Amino acid sequence: MQQRIGFIGLGIMGKPMARNLLKAGYPVTVYTRKRETVEAFRAEGARGASSSREVAERSEVVITMVTDTPDVQQVVLGPDGILSSLQAGGTIIDMSTISPTATREMATTCQTKGIHYLDAPVSGGEGGAIAGTLSIMVGGEETVFKSCLPIFQAMGKNIIHVGPSGSGQLVKLCNQIAVAVTNMAMCEALIFAAKSGVHLEKMHQAISGGAAGSWQLTNLGPRIFQRDFAPGFMVKLQQKDLRLVLQEADRLQLALPATGLVHNLFNALESTGADNEGTQALVKVLERLAGVEVKA
């Protein structure tokens, strides 16, 4: 018999992830602040709940996919949170991207109550969540990871246990450094091409298959040409992740100059009210500096 799963947080990423668990045959109980979203999931075969506590009462494994560190702390530790009703022996899997330090603290608190805790942030964007091909980097006890592996396999393809509690979040921050800086490099290449008069689509085709190829170039480049700035991953969430990176770098007394620069460029973009646009909107800041538009 498959484990009873609770899923808290049904945003851009959480919705398709929860749907893939339903498709895999898991009994899923869902909760999010928007009642209409819960009702839509009821129609798809999930059970609805009115609080995190209620989700935990009905579940053996509870997955959280919410915005930021305080949100996870409230959902897990709050008076109406998961720990208030999850049975000893149960497991919490946080798939949000949050502070590694806070993650370790929550894992320790859970351990004292006989609850297992895994930090399992994801990469792959909305498309990967829909297709069930996410990369999932998991921190926590390896035996707990192995017991939850079939659950992860319903949502992702590249699933790796990366170390003890907090390691999943640290690896995700490595991912976000590479993603953000590569995004900036892609935008600079497009700006250079547009300013020099090179045919944009042909340039894109020529470099995508070589050493310059990247997920950003393949997936976000064409969207920029079409002036499509709808979010697969929002600017404000990228900024939240970059703040986590820079806080951890500060703790480590580590210089990350390129990461700091792209964070500042996103600050400039946010000042224009583009918080909810996709991260490909970074090109707009460079367009303003260059006096050119990247457009097919």
Domain 5-164: CATH class, spelled out: alpha beta
- 202 as an active site residue: the answer is no
**Residue ranges of the chain assigned to CATH 1.10.1040.10:** 171-290
pLDDT greater than 80 at residue 34 = yes
pLDDT greater than 90 at residue 2 = no
Tokens describing residue 282: 């970074």
pTM listed for this prediction: 0.94
Q: What is the mean pLDDT of residues 55-83?
A: 97
Query: Quick one: pLDDT at residue 68?
Result: 95
pLDDT greater than 90 at residue 202 = yes
**Residue ranges of the chain assigned to CATH 3.40.50.720:** 5-164
Higher-scoring residue by pLDDT: 147, 232: 147
Q: What is the mean pLDDT of residues 204-215?
A: 95
pLDDT greater than 90 at residue 20 = yes
- Give 232's pLDDT tier (boundaries 50, 70, 90): confident
171-290 CATH pick, 1.10.1040.10, 3.40.50.11540, 3.40.50.261, 1.10.167.10: 1.10.1040.10
Higher-scoring residue by pLDDT: 233, 170: 170
Query: Quick one: pLDDT at residue 140?
Result: 98
Active-site residue, from 34, 172, 195, 240: 172
Q: What is the mean pLDDT of residues 117-121?
A: 98
Give percent of the chain above pLDDT 90: 98
